[in-house]
């Protein structure tokens, strides 16, 4: 994922999922949905375990903007 000067986990889960699916299908058009689903399960497990507080914030958009260093 490209950070774009914000932490990639600052997105709501739906945005991460949507972007990942579009990215994979664009670069790997023959990929099986099973592979995509497995990777999404792995990513969501990390998202849920490390950044559950994002769900508690009241977003007006699908992105929470803040100044931070990008981690990958």
Q: What is the pLDDT of residues 4-52, one digit of tens each?
A: 444 445 677 888 899 999 999 999 999 999 999 999 999 999 888 776 5
**What is d(CA 5, CA 16) in angstroms, rounded to the nearest whole number?**
16
Place of tokens 């999404």: 40
Q: Which of 67, 70, 68, 65 is nearest to 10 (CA)?
A: 65
Residue ranges per structural domain of the chain: 1-72
pLDDT of residue 46: 85
């Amino acid at each position: 994922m490209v950070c774009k000067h914000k932490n990639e986990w600052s997105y709501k889960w739906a945005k991460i999922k949507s972007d990942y699916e579009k990215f994979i299908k664009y670069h790997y058009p023959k990929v099986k949905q099973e592979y995509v689903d497995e990777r999404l399960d792995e990513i969501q497990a990390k998202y849920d375990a490390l950044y559950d507080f994002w769900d508690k914030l009241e977003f007006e958009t699908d992105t929470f903007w803040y100044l931070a260093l990008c981690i990958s």
